[in-house]
Amino acid sequence: MNSDLPERDEVDAEFEALLDPKVQESIGRSLKAHYDDLINAPIPDKFLVLLAQLEATERRLPTEGESDERR
């Protein structure tokens, strides 16, 4: 490894020192708002169909000759 490169902790500490606490708070609020929007967004129909297909397949598998190893 190259000893001329700063350690990751040193780089993180320097980066944190460059950001004003108000800027950090603003970024945090913005990220939380975006995350909340994603969490509350409806699940696309395509994913619901895929999940239903997967569940149907999983329900069929045990009745179609499940071995003793799977129990």
Decide if pLDDT at 71 tops 50: no
CA torsion through residues 22, 23, 27, 28, sign: negative
Q: What is the DSSP string of 4-25?
A: TSPPHHHHHHHHHHHS-HHHHH
What integer pLDDT is reported at residue 46 of this predicted model? 97
pLDDT tens, residue by residue, 5-51: 667 776 676 666 688 889 999 999 999 999 999 999 999 999 999 99
